[in-house]
Amino acid sequence: MSKQTDADKNWLALKITVNAEASEAVEFALNELDALGTEINNLGAKQAETLDVIGYFNEPPDNEKIEIELNEALRIYNFSPGVIRETDWRVIGNTDWLFEWKKHWKPTETGKFIIAPTWENVESADKIVVRIEPSMAFGTGTHETTRLCLKAIEENYRGAMSFLDVGTGTGIMAIAAAKFRASEAELKTRNIILGCDTDFDSITIARENAATNKVGDEIEFRVGSISEKDSVYDFVCANLTADVIVPLLPLLLKKFSRVLILSGILNEQKDFIIAKLKGCGIENPKIELLGEWISVLIEKQTND
């Protein structure tokens, strides 16, 4: 019997038709349900009355859990359950899913980066292009949390710094750091860049994306999370969610020497995160807001 390949694999897709203004809240709920990937079928149509938000799964979550997560996400974003018009499950082939990605995913620009799918012909003399192949791993560069982290890298990362990307997903931040470093003048020191993720498939995809960007030899990827055994890194990036960050917070604070950037945090959770940091002795972190999301940047003073 032949082994099933990814191209042959079928996924379960939960399509939720929702009032356009609440689409991000529904996408957040799908991520909380551990969707393997999500998309919003807007084709740039910001003025549309409704949008389809799709989450992809290996196995369908329990209906009660879906309802709980949807209601909680809508509450956080200040919407009533009435904004959801329709829900529908369907089976979708992997090739169909990739086709949908190619229709909807366009390059995203930040101050110094362009995050682009591999099939887009993007050239830029003054920006660093990071190419990402679509996959079920979270991270295409379009989400506000990713853009907040990229902004922190642009403003605070220096090529000689060691770099740790916790929850690397498709490897965007680690790859961005490696390409940012490569863009700097000749460096005598090239410290380690490490990306880790608890999802095996994500690490496989991150390695492939690093190779596509010709920085495969610059980055080490591993399956797993940060641990006490890890070294201290100059720059640590943790683009996770608040419920994952909080238990890791004491360890994250021990494992950076210059810059720590936390994201995947809703603006509604800002006071909660600030209180947790204060309990760890951190006062007045730098907060950046983009849409409904924030990043939290903590710096340690150095003598150099």
Structural contact between residues 219 and 194, judged by C-beta atoms closer than 8 angstroms: yes
Provide the residue type at 97 as one letter: W
| pLDDT tens readout for residues 64-105 | 999 999 999 999 888 999 999 999 998 877 666 666 666 667
- b/e code 167-189 from CB counts within 10 Å (16+ = b): bbbbbbbbbbbbbbbeeeeeeee
Q: What's the pLDDT at 109?
A: 87
User: What are phi and psi for residue 131, nearest 5 degrees?
Assistant: -100, 130
Put residue 83 in one of left, alpha, beta given phi > 0 → left and psi -120 to 50 → alpha.
Answer: alpha
For residue range 133-167, list pLDDT tens digits in order. 866 545 566 678 889 999 999 999 988 899 999 99
Question: Which residues contact residue 123 at a Cβ distance below 8 angstroms, ignoring those fewer than 6 apart?
Answer: 129
Q: Which residues fall within 8 angstroms of residue 135, CB to CB, at 6 or more apart?
A: 37, 170, 201, 205
**Cα-based torsion angle of the residue sequence 236, 277, 239, 182 in order, rounded to the nearest 10 degrees:** -20
Q: End-to-end distance of the chain based on CA atoms, in angstroms?
A: 62
If one counts every other C-beta atom within 10 angstroms of the C-beta of residue 59, the result is: 7
CA distance 183 to 161: 14
Tokens (6 digits) for 249: 């917070």
55 vs 27, 34, 170, 230, CA distance in Å? 8, 9, 17, 34
What is the signed CA dihedral for 211, 212, 214, 219, rounded to 10 degrees?
-40
Q: Which of 55, 51, 48 is nearest to 29 (CA)?
A: 55
- Ranges of beta strands (E only) in the chain are 10-19, 37-41, 50-57, 84-93, 108-109, 113-117, 128-132, 163-166, 193-197, 219-223, 233-239, 256-266, 286-290, 293-299
- Helix, strand, or coil here: 287? strand
Q: Quick one: which of 237, 213, 232, 212 has its CA closest to 150?
A: 237
The pLDDT assigned to 3 comes to: 38
Q: What is the pTM of this model?
A: 0.78
Q: Give the per-residue pLDDT at 2.
A: 35
Q: Are 164 and 135 in contact (CB under 8 A)?
A: no
Q: How much is the pLDDT for 40?
A: 78
Decide the pairing of beta strands 233-239 and 286-290: unpaired
CATH numbers and ranges of domains, the chain:
6-101 (3.30.70.1150), 105-299 (3.40.50.150)
Task: Specify whether the CB–CB gap between 210 and 218 falls below 8 A.
Answer: yes
Residues of the chain with pLDDT under 70: 1-9, 42-47, 94-104, 134-142, 184-190, 302-304
